[in-house]
Structure 1
Amino acid sequence: MVSKELHFTKAAEKLGISQPTLSHQIKMLEQKVGYALFNRIGKKIELTKVGEIVQQEALNIQSSLQSISSQIEAFMKVEIGELKIAVLPGEITDLVSTLCIQFNQLYPNIKVFVQSTDQVEKTVLENQADFGIGFQFNRYDILQVTKLYDEEFYLISNQSNGEQRISFSSVLDGPLILFPGMHQCRKILDKTSHEIGRQLEPIVETSSIESILKLVRSGIGRSIVSRTLYEFYDTEDLFFQYIENPVLTKEVYLVLKKNCFINYAARKYIELLVREIEKLRFHTEEDAIASLQNSIL
């Protein structure tokens, strides 16, 4: 302000401080720099060559601070930045990836990285992901684990036999088209079949849900998929049955670090996820969802 007004009294008035205070601050700055910043000629002053250098650098600093503020504001409003999500391989990955379509439509300038991993907790703990989604998590003190909903599994086919429910052992009697062994749904099926003394022998294995649905439509066999996938994909021409004896369900959890900054992108994605879960009428624990929503506001 002094370099702009070239007058201490006028500069002090513009800054809202006393003239002696301003003069003292300029003297302290000159002592720090080691050179005079102004030539004082009677009541008039002018910038020295050193003063011109300091003035230019000060303007550069001011511009940088404004740029920092603008970038932070843009980041908080999801105009720029990225979102990293860690998920277990399988239907959770499909759910998260499918929601990315809606998220991109709402926030086209945000980059989303979906990491499919068996070590969701480790990824979140090491700050490689903003949050994670999966079936089971250890209750670390520094992690906030929230149950999102109960995942059900359906038997799907291209024609109806008029029965709403079917026993798991009966499911194994017909040809099956299933995900490969690394898929979370398949792990549940392998474990359950082993418990009843049976062995899964699918006629086709594929990691593509689109391929599974296409094969089921063609009548090659039936399949077992999560309700998440059944609801999220075009399955109006297919039929589903509830599986019982035993019932196949899995609890889906969201995990994030406690007392950590949750960026705007992560908050908005979690809000979108919760809305979709509620819209599909999954069985949720209202208190847990409310607690999650309060923690990310």
Structure 2
Amino acid sequence: MELRHLEYFLMVSKELHFTKAAEKLGISQPTLSHQIKILEQEVGYPLFNRVGKKIELTKVGEIVQQEALNIQGSIQSISSQIAAFTKVEIGELKIAVLPGEITDLVSTLCIQFNHLYPNIKVFIQTTDQVEKAVLENRADFGIGFQLNQYDMLQVTKLYDEEFYLISNQSNEEQTVSFSSVLDGPLILFPSMHQCRKILDKTSYEVGKQLEPIVETSSIKSILNLVRSGVGRSVVSRTLYEFYDTEDLFFQHIEKPSLTRAVYLVMKKNCFINYAARKYIKLLVREIEKLHFHTEKDSITSLRSSIL
């Protein structure tokens, strides 16, 4: 049984006239009659009683009519849902991110995304196994640092970001050496935090011990403690840009400089849903607006492939 046959049948059952139904369908009356006969053969019973030029539905025809209307409604519902999905009116978005400030970046952008697409459910999964989440289809895409390369994954470098020394006092020097950073009291994230791991690694390489006066996983607490003069802190530019830091002062860290690359990871040769595309478009726009150090070739390639 073909959908076309049901479509023809429903038009005849509506018009109760083969010629009128054929005209509305844009086919000849003999063709329509032939198609209805094929449908009747498949059903095994007549669908219309033919009395002269008039026709009426048989009892079997009434049953087929009701079920055909149900099928037609389901097909229209499917089309409507697909149209809504492609227009980012419904659906869900799953993002995997490493613990730390990237989670703050992703969460902050969700505010903009929700304003634009309020019916999209967003799930942010904080995990240290971003690649695995994407490979197992638990995330539409992931964002992290120094991602492992897998043949099944497409990894795109989004931007390079540096780390700042922040304090509540202005300093004429725009830069500060890493060794000088360690000289004063520091308020830092716990050792499990991605930012802290970079600081621990660098301090070990320069032969110094990192001993913060306060450790907290709350960026707001860090900023408030710095404001109150308890100590200084080291934060990524991502955090510095996305929080209210206008009353604080920052210095670039050098000798060595602290930077890291931020990557976007997706599954190769896999359909990227429209919600994910719209979110990534917002992310790229925000990165460019903040003038992060991006690789133009990577962003151009990303745009051409999914944006």
Question: Is the TM-score greater than 0.5?
Answer: yes
The count of corresponding residues between Structure 1 and Structure 2 is 297
Aligned to 1:172: 182
In the alignment, does 2:187 pair up with 1:181?
Answer: no
SS in structure 2 opposite 1:121?
Answer: helix
Instruction: Supply the distance in 1 between the matched residues of 2:188 and 2:227 (Cα, whole angstroms).
Output: 14
Aligned to 1:44: 54
Instruction: Supply the distance in 2 between the matched residues of 1:266 and 1:71 (Cα, whole angstroms).
Output: 17
- How many percent identity over aligned positions? 87
Q: How does 1:210-229 map to 2 (within 5 A)?
A: 210-229=220-239
Q: How does 1:1-297 map to 2 (within 5 A)?
A: 1-297=11-307
Instruction: Supply the distance in 2 between the matched residues of 1:163 and 1:16 (Cα, whole angstroms).
Output: 80
- Greater displacement, 184-193 / 134-143: 134-143
What is the TM-score with the length of structure 1 in the denominator? 0.96
The letter of the residue matching 2:216 is: T
Structure 1 unaligned blocks of 5 or more: none
TM-superposition CA deviations, 1:22-80 (whole Å, max 9, x none): 22221221122121111122332211001001011111111111111111111222222
Instruction: Supply the distance in 1 between the matched residues of 2:118 and 2:21 (Cα, whole angstroms).
Output: 46
TM-superposition CA deviations, 1:191-213 (whole Å, max 9, x none): 11111222211111111110100
Instruction: Supply the distance in 1 between the matched residues of 2:290 and 2:271 (Cα, whole angstroms).
Output: 29
| 1:119 CA displacement | 0.7
| 1:99 CA displacement | 1.1
Instruction: Supply the distance in 2 between the matched residues of 1:156 and 1:124 (Cα, whole angstroms).
Output: 35
The letter of the residue matching 1:31 is: Q
Instruction: Supply the distance in 1 between the matched residues of 2:190 and 2:124 (Cα, whole angstroms).
Output: 20
Instruction: Supply the distance in 2 between the matched residues of 1:214 and 1:95 (Cα, whole angstroms).
Output: 19
SS in structure 2 opposite 1:97?
Answer: helix
TM-superposition CA deviations, 1:189-245 (whole Å, max 9, x none): 111111122221111111111010000001111100001111111111111111111
SS in structure 2 opposite 1:156?
Answer: strand
- Greater displacement, 25-34 / 282-291: 25-34
| 1:287 CA displacement | 1.1
SS in structure 2 opposite 1:246?
Answer: coil
- Greater displacement, 277-286 / 8-17: 8-17
Instruction: Supply the distance in 1 between the matched residues of 2:20 and 2:86 (Cα, whole angstroms).
Output: 38
- Greater displacement, 257-266 / 216-225: 257-266
TM-superposition CA deviations, 1:84-127 (whole Å, max 9, x none): 11111111111111111121222222221111111111111111
What is the TM-score with the length of structure 2 in the denominator? 0.93
Regions of 4+ moved over 3 Å: none
- After superposition, the Cα gap between the structure-2 partners of 1:15 and 1:161, relative to the gap in structure 1 and judged at 3 Å, is closer
Instruction: Supply the distance in 2 between the matched residues of 1:129 and 1:159 (Cα, whole angstroms).
Output: 42
The letter of the residue matching 2:129 is: Q
Instruction: Supply the distance in 1 between the matched residues of 2:15 and 2:109 (Cα, whole angstroms).
Output: 56
TM-superposition CA deviations, 1:161-182 (whole Å, max 9, x none): 3221111121111111111112
Instruction: Supply the distance in 2 between the matched residues of 1:17 and 1:199 (Cα, whole angstroms).
Output: 85
The letter of the residue matching 2:259 is: T
Instruction: Supply the distance in 2 between the matched residues of 1:255 and 1:223 (Cα, whole angstroms).
Output: 30
